[in-house]
A = this chain, B = another copy of it.
Amino acid sequence: MNESIALQAERIEVGAIEYSSFSSTINGHYHNAKIVVLMDTNTHDLCWNWLQTTVNVLQRTQMIVVPPGEENKTISVCTQVWEALLEYELSRHDLLINLGGGLITDMGGFIASVFKRGIDFINIPTSLLGMIDASFGGKNGVNFFGFKNQLGVFQHPIATYIDKRFLHTLPAEHIKNGWAEIIKHALIGDRELWHSIVQLETLSDDISNDIFERSLSIKITVVAADPHERGMRKILNFGHTIGHALEAYFLTRQYLAHGHAVALGIIAECYIARKLKKLATDDFVQITTFLKKHFHIPKIDHLAVAEIVQLLHSDKKNYGGQIQCAFIDKIGNCLYDQAVTEEICAESLQFLFFNTPEA
């Protein structure tokens, strides 16, 4: 498939990049522009050579390579990249290409949006999470003082080119990471998609076009309806209230990938939804059983629960000091702006990590 999907100012193309509009864009509008490709050491080693060979126009680019990992998604790494962009004498008319997973497209989008009050950027996601979620929709940012994406802006890339062949460069754990967002999309907006997913034996890199595109189209539809997250876009945060707190908690401890954290967040937030009598027990059991089967539950100390609850207070969605959550009331439909108490959040973590109280 080589498909182009319109999302407001943003262009998303799915398919082999050499048959996409990528080369003609570079040779056309950016004919005279300087082009810098931002990548991390992983995408440098696994993706860059292949991409440069496949798409000749990339021969004339400069590259900036940053260290991988969520712990490097910081303003200090941004500062180093901005310094390099200054050294390359990049002007407002030049272009940044972000080649990588969510970390690179999140951070690179922020770097471009702020440099000289904004230069154009193109995203080429290489991870499943990036393809299905992070690389489009206009949100970018970096972590700050251990809190997720606290600094950033809303700014769409000029275009996002999604080439699924990059998926074969990824370890299995990374693939699962992306599946968490596919599952989230199904749960908030597409019951049929959920039924396709729940029948799968494994969550592998062999993703059917049908599942891939249905998942993509949910995010695209939601973002187009509410690009700046004033209202219904908040349903995309399902699993992310608890998920982000878990990610922040584990940032300084063992590694917990974003998608993995979201999968765990979905379990906890489904617990909350059921406890508040919004979600039926059948749905709850089906979802949590499936997720607990496919996503490892890390070991934590009982005392950690209070610490994770504290981290919920830095969530960007909070309002008037209250924790705000999005959760589903049935598979395929999601509520948002739901105020929840610290107590119920703590209880949901008890369920997630210790299976108490019993479901």
Indicate if A24 sits at the interface (CB-CB under 8 A): no
**Can you tell how many copies of this chain the complex includes?**
2
- Of chain B, the residue at the smallest CB distance from A229 is B117
Q: Who on chain B is nearest to A138 by CB?
A: B117
Q: Is A321 an interface residue (CB 8 A)?
A: yes
A302 part of interface (Cβ distance < 8 Å): no
Q: Are A115 and B320 in contact (CB under 8 A)?
A: no
Query: A320's contact among B32, B79, B113, B116, by CB below 8 Å, is which?
Result: B32
Asked whether any CB of chain B lies closer than 8 Å to the CB of A354, the reply is no
- Which residues of the partner chain B approach A83 to less than 8 Å between Cβ atoms? 144-145
Contact mask A63-106 → B, CB, 8 Å, 1/0?
Answer: 00000000000010001001100100101110000000000000
CB-CB < 8 A to A332: which residues of B?
none
A114 touches B114 (CB 8 A): yes
Supply 6 A–B pairs (Cβ within 8 Å), ascending by A.
A82-B150, A83-B144, A89-B313, A92-B316, A92-B317, A114-B114
Please tell me if the beta carbons of A117 and B152 are within 8 angstroms of each other in the complex: yes
Contacts of A114 in B (CB 8 A): 114, 151-153
- Beta-carbon contact of A141 and B153 below 8 Å: no
- Which residues 139-157 of A have a CB within 8 angstroms of B? 139, 141, 144-145, 147, 149-154
A153 touches which one: B82, B117, B144 (CB < 8 A)?
Answer: B117
Minimum CB–CB distance from A176 to chain B (whole Å) comes to: 27
Which 5 residue pairs of A and B lie closest in terms of their CB atoms, listed nearest first? A116-B316, A117-B152, A114-B151, A91-B318, A32-B320
A255 close to chain B: CB less than 8 A: no
Contact across chains for B86 and A314 when beta carbons are under 8 A apart = yes
Interface size class for chain A? 35 or more
- What is the chain B residue whose CB lies nearest that of A110? B114
Q: How far is the CA of A351 from the CA of B226 in the complex (A)?
A: 55
Max count, chain B CB within 10 A of own CB: residue among A32, A91, A118, A314: A91
Q: Which of B117, B150, B152, B320 contacts A139 (CB 8 A)?
A: B117
Which residues of B sit under 8 angstroms from A147, Cβ to Cβ?
A: 86
Tell me which residues across on chain B come within 8 A of A141, comparing CB atoms: 117
State whether the Cβ of A50 lies closer than 8 Å to any Cβ in chain B.
no
Is A290's beta carbon under 8 Å from chain B? no
Q: A115-B150, A117-B316 are in contact. List 20 more A-B contacts (CB 8 A).
A: A75-B75, A82-B144, A83-B145, A86-B144, A86-B150, A86-B314, A89-B313, A89-B314, A91-B316, A92-B317, A93-B320, A114-B114, A114-B151, A115-B151, A116-B152, A117-B152, A117-B154, A118-B153, A118-B154, A153-B153
CA distance A149 to B82 in the complex (A): 13
Chain B positions within 8 Å of A321 at CB level: 89
Residue among A141, A145, A147, A151 with the most chain B CB within 10 A?
A: A151
**B-side contacts of A118, CB under 8 Å:** 153-154
CA–CA, A115 to B142, complex, Å?
10
Binary flags per residue of A124-138, CB closer than 8 Å to B gives 1, else 0: 000000000000000
Q: Are A150 and B116 in contact (CB under 8 A)?
A: yes
- What is the bound-complex CA distance between A237 and B21, given in angstroms? 36
Q: Which residues of A in the span 308-341 have a Cβ within 8 Å of any Cβ on B?
A: 313-314, 316-321
